[in-house]
A = this chain, B = another copy of it.
Amino acid sequence: MAEERAGDYRILHEAALRDYLAGILGLAATLGSEPASWSITEVGDGNLNLVFIVKGASGGVAVKQALPYVRLVGESWPLPLSRAHYEYLALSKQAELASGLVPALLHHNEALALTVMELLEPHIIMRKGLVAGTQYPRFASDITTFMAGTLFLTSDLALSAAEKKKAIAAFAGNHALCKITEDLIFTDPYRIAEQNRWTAPYLDALAASLRDDMDLHVAVSRLKLKFMASPEALIHGDLHTGSIMVTESQTRVIDPEFAFYGPMGFDVGAVLANLLMAYFASSGHERSPGERHAFEGWVLETVETVWNEFARKFLDLWRAGATGDAYPAALFAGEKGAARLEAERHAYMQRLFADTVGFAAAKTIRRIFGLAHNIDFELIEDPRRRAACEARAVRLARAMMVEAGAFPAIADVTGAARRLRDWQPEFATG
């Protein structure tokens, strides 16, 4: 586990950062030779860290420094700096396993909890593009390559049990970040918690009904237990569309500071949930009825493609490179063995799909009733209209979490989403 050396840590604001970066070998070549001429802009819009864009005559870099507390909340909520170390570990591993789909690492200083990375330009945060109704034709292909590679290749299907245990232990110290997920996603939205908020008064009754819904509480508690005690693979841990930067031809996954060995469905579910939220938010952004019809069709198609392509690539990796200790080849020799193993691979994906559906639902509900909301919904100005979009997403999410049997395939999820597109929830208030 990474030990923090708090004594060496200091927050680097502009001037100190300039001096620090000037001392890093090779960086002047990237940026241009005059440190005094570099522009340094703090752009962090995330919840936790400082992020600077540094530009010189020849190019730019991004600098991320962890703060010893949650930025969104302040110093009253301390958070270990070691998360920068785990982010660096995860980013290095992802660069190895999903080459070209994460920003290039240029420098890391564990004591300062600081990482210098390739500047992604002209990429934007995918969520912003989705709010604007932009389609990303490369996205499904890239994100499924990323997920299949990082998840399969760190699982028991690819690693020996000894390598896997070592890797689990290497990330075990990142528990404070896991705890955020455990509380904010799997617990708080289902109870009275100070940090919760929702589109009041329209969703007041729905919020109360979730707090009283014991089937939902059991389902989310099972998901929480799975999150805590199923180290299936090295997961990104926060793979929403705010952690993905895109152009129409490129996709980059950023910010893996929540990374640890957890259930694969948590990552896949995060992607699906955030696409589904973009879908349900879309009608709230249209200026005339049907304006975003093509976009919405693309989003649902992408939901299907993400699952289907992920499963296909994961299975291809399994068929080609089962170097792990699970499902030993010697037990599935011959034609009969090969056929039975292939059937089991599909059964495995079916179990993973069920997890994915559940986690996607949990990721949706937390964005509507918990602490951290997203701009998909937040930028819908009319609260009543926003609440209607959110209520549709929650209605689907509740069914996905509790009626698992009703969603045997991804088309069942998109079909239900499509049917809810124009459902008008009744609000007791207003």
Q: A residues bordering B, Cβ < 8 Å? A: 1, 156, 161-162, 164-166, 168-169, 172-173, 175-176, 178-179, 182, 187, 190-191, 212, 214-215, 217-218, 220-221, 224-225, 228-232, 325-328, 330-333, 336-337, 340-341, 344
Partner pick for A187 among B212, B214, B220, B330, CB 8 A cutoff: B330
**Once the chains bind, are B169 and A182 in contact (CB under 8 Å)?**
no
Chain B positions within 8 Å of A176 at CB level: 162
Lowest 9 CB-CB distances: which A-B pairs, in order?
Answer: A169-B172, A214-B340, A162-B175, A169-B169, A165-B172, A217-B331, A191-B330, A225-B326, A165-B175
**Once the chains bind, are B165 and A336 in contact (CB under 8 Å)?**
no
Chain B positions within 8 Å of A215 at CB level: 340
**Once the chains bind, are B229 and A230 in contact (CB under 8 Å)?**
yes
**Once the chains bind, are A191 and B326 in contact (CB under 8 Å)?**
no
Distance in angstroms between the alpha carbons of A230 and B226 in the assembled complex: 9
Distance in angstroms between the alpha carbons of A212 and B333 in the assembled complex: 9
Distance in angstroms between the alpha carbons of A114 and B216 in the assembled complex: 51
Specify how many copies of this chain sit in the oligomer. 2
Chain B positions within 8 Å of A161 at CB level: 175, 178-179, 182, 228
**Once the chains bind, are A221 and B331 in contact (CB under 8 Å)?**
yes
Chain B positions within 8 Å of A182 at CB level: 161, 325
Distance in angstroms between the alpha carbons of A301 and B179 in the assembled complex: 44
Distance in angstroms between the alpha carbons of A325 and B221 in the assembled complex: 10
**Once the chains bind, are B156 and A1 in contact (CB under 8 Å)?**
no
- What 16 new A-B contacts, CB under 8 Å, besides A165-B175, A214-B337? A156-B225, A161-B175, A165-B178, A172-B172, A191-B328, A191-B330, A191-B331, A212-B336, A217-B337, A218-B341, A220-B331, A224-B326, A224-B328, A225-B327, A229-B230, A231-B231
Chain B positions within 8 Å of A336 at CB level: 212, 214
User: What are 21 residue pairs bridging A and B, where the CB atoms are less than 8 Å apart in the complex?
Assistant: A161-B178, A161-B182, A162-B175, A164-B228, A164-B229, A165-B173, A168-B168, A168-B169, A169-B169, A169-B173, A182-B325, A187-B331, A191-B328, A191-B333, A212-B336, A217-B332, A217-B337, A218-B344, A220-B331, A225-B327, A230-B230
Distance in angstroms between the alpha carbons of A340 and B222 in the assembled complex: 13
Distance in angstroms between the alpha carbons of A232 and B165 in the assembled complex: 14
A373 CB to nearest chain B CB (Å): 21
Chain B positions within 8 Å of A337 at CB level: 214, 217
Chain B positions within 8 Å of A325 at CB level: 179, 182, 224, 228
**Once the chains bind, are A229 and B232 in contact (CB under 8 Å)?**
yes
Chain B positions within 8 Å of A172 at CB level: 165-166, 168-169, 172
A261 CB to nearest chain B CB (Å): 9
Q: Whose C-beta in chain B lies nearest to the C-beta of A330?
A: B191
Chain B positions within 8 Å of A212 at CB level: 336
Distance in angstroms between the alpha carbons of A232 and B225 in the assembled complex: 10
Distance in angstroms between the alpha carbons of A191 and B332 in the assembled complex: 9
Distance in angstroms between the alpha carbons of A191 and B334 in the assembled complex: 12
A165 CB to nearest chain B CB (Å): 4
